[in-house]
Amino acid sequence: MNRAFNRKKDKTWMHTPEALSKHYIPYNAKFLGSTEVEQPKGTEVVRDAVRKLKFARHIKKSEGQKIPKVELQISIYGVKILEPKTKEVQHNCQLHRISFCADDKTDKRIFTFICKDSESNKHLCYVFDSEKCAEEITLTIGQAFDLAYRKFLESGGKDVETRKQIAGLQKRIQDLETENTELKNKVQDLENQLRITQVSTSPAGSVTPKSPSTDIFDMIPFSPVSHQSSIPTHNGTQPPPVPSRSAEIKRDLFGAEPFDPFNCGAGDFPPDIQSKLDEMQEGFKMGLTLEGTVFCLDPVDSRC
């Protein structure tokens, strides 16, 4: 039963879109813990996880340990699990990673959701005791997922695409700066080698300083105000003709193609940003299943 979309059509969401978009909805609950599951969805999957965590919590309670209290903050940006006093974030579950959410119809306090871990990519099932607010929290997560998916379709994908293009341009500029630095170093090495060659081939004591009007290549320095006709001949030969402007556009002075920010192919985009975009699209397309079900049938598990 995909209750999220049924509820949306019936217009019986728990909160206004503004409350989840501009702020967050807080809930107090007890955190039974989380455990790894094999599948991202399924009643049997969460039933086994709840039984496992309830049994572990029952053992700890018999040893005098209390169930830790947490604060849930639900918004279109995800579900945060915080320590209620210090507000320290213990878990931050992004909505496109949450694939299944359910509440127990036989125990109004218990609800759970399955979220894919961002680091290990494992599916983790989180289980809570919420003092008869389980169904409301489940519906709030469903509404937040629905709003986040709409926002992603309307502008989220474009925002990610823009950031992807900017990152691609920045990477291209960085590569060009690195290439430019390497070429400058090569030019400097050639100049040093030329100086050493000129000194070693000149007769001893006959080295004369070069005229300040020429560079190390015995060439007249370039002046933007000088005209080609004013450059004198050297050794009886005419200087080479200046290449046309059309040829200069294709290549720069180092022989490389000039950078065009409007002609960056998809291959220039960093793969990490593309993978995040693909992950969000895949997560939202998978959808969020909201289901009311029976987690535990054993009387010993009915109480934590």
Q: Which two tokens stand for residue 287?
A: 């959808």
> What 3-state DSSP class applies to 54?
helix
- For residue 158, pLDDT beyond 70: no
Q: How far apart are CA 271 and CA 266, in angstroms?
A: 10
CA atoms of 41 and 142, how far apart (whole Å) = 15
Q: Name the nearest CA neighbour of 89 among 79, 101, 75.
A: 79
pTM, 2 dp: 0.57
pLDDT, residue 7, reads 43
| CA-to-CA dists, residue 150 to 154, 267, 284, 300, angstroms | 6, 29, 10, 43
CA dihedral 283, 288, 289, 295 (to 10 degrees): 90
Q: Among 35-49, 188-202, 254-268, which range has the highest average pLDDT?
A: 35-49
CA gap 287, 99 in Å, rounded: 6
> Two tokens at 27?
């809930």
Residue 131, pLDDT score? 81
Mean residue pLDDT of the chain comes to 75
pLDDT score at 198: 78
- Among 56, 2, 62, 6, which residue's Cα sits nearest to residue 31? 56
CA dihedral 37, 42, 48, 52 (to 10 degrees): 50
E strand or H helix at 163, and its extent?
Answer: helix 157-201
